[in-house]
Amino acid sequence: MTQSADTKDLILDAAELLFSENGVEGVSLRALTSKAGVNLASVHYHFGSKEGVALAAFCRRVRPINEERLELLDKAESEGAADVESVLTALYAPALRLAGSPVHGRRFMRMCARFYTEPGAYLESAFTQEFAHVITRFEGALHRALPDLSRLELRRRMHFGIGVMVHTLLDSNRTRQWTDDACDPSDIGGTLDAMVSFVAAGFRAGTATPAAGTAGGAGIKADRT
């Protein structure tokens, strides 16, 4: 590894740790350079700004995850018509494996939780750029697996399915607390199987129209007025 690459990794490692603890806004460039053991010029040379560091720290972990997702999806489709379970497995498994990494996983997920709750315009742009193609590919695969679902309903269920993953990944301690330790996020295989089974059932569920006054229908609107 070159000295330049070493310096970049030192900065990104320090950023991942500090951003996970304090968010981007709560970390000064001075604190970042001090933690990394580099000078301010190195940050500006490699990343341009603190926001540039945040983007690079995010992309460093996310891009390999998305590459693996697409590889798993390609493999599932090459072996025949991919069903809902195999598509969801390809979507969830790489992220769960990273989250379970004792070296980087928990820290990166805490940083993502900060990004998720304290978004800036530059982070919103990064989310769109890094995930747009992946979402398009998985939407197409799920549409082929469930051709009777409308695109609107498919996207609604994708939103819910991604929410299950995000909630599980970004707050593993709460997952353990809410289930009295019955659900252990460090059990990657068990968590993956449970998530895939649960979300696949949701994708296959019928589309009933809620009656007026029920929790899913007009009653919600009436309660908010």
User: For the residues 215-224, what does the mean pLDDT come to?
Assistant: 37
Which are the contacts of 211, defined by CB distance < 8 A and separation ≥ 6? 217
First to last CA, the chain: 61
The verdict on residue 45 lying in a domain is no
Say how far apart CA 168 and CA 49 lie, in whole Å: 31
The verdict on residue 159 lying in a domain is yes
The verdict on residue 32 lying in a domain is no
- 94: how many CB neighbours lie within 10 A of its CB? 19
List pLDDT tens digits, range 159-189: 999 999 988 887 766 777 777 767 776 788 9
The verdict on residue 97 lying in a domain is yes
The verdict on residue 27 lying in a domain is no
The verdict on residue 132 lying in a domain is yes
Lowest mean pLDDT among 91-100, 117-126, 198-207: 117-126
CATH number at residue 173: 1.10.357.10
The verdict on residue 224 lying in a domain is no
Using an 8 Å Cβ cutoff, are 63 and 130 in contact?
yes
Count of structural domains, the chain: 1
The verdict on residue 26 lying in a domain is no
Confidence band of 102 (pLDDT split at 50, 70, 90): confident
Look up residue 98 and give its amino acid: L
Query: pLDDT value at position 132?
Result: 93
Q: Which domain range does residue 109 map to?
A: 61-204
**Residue showing tokens 């590459």:** 67
User: For the residues 53-81, what does the mean pLDDT come to?
Assistant: 94
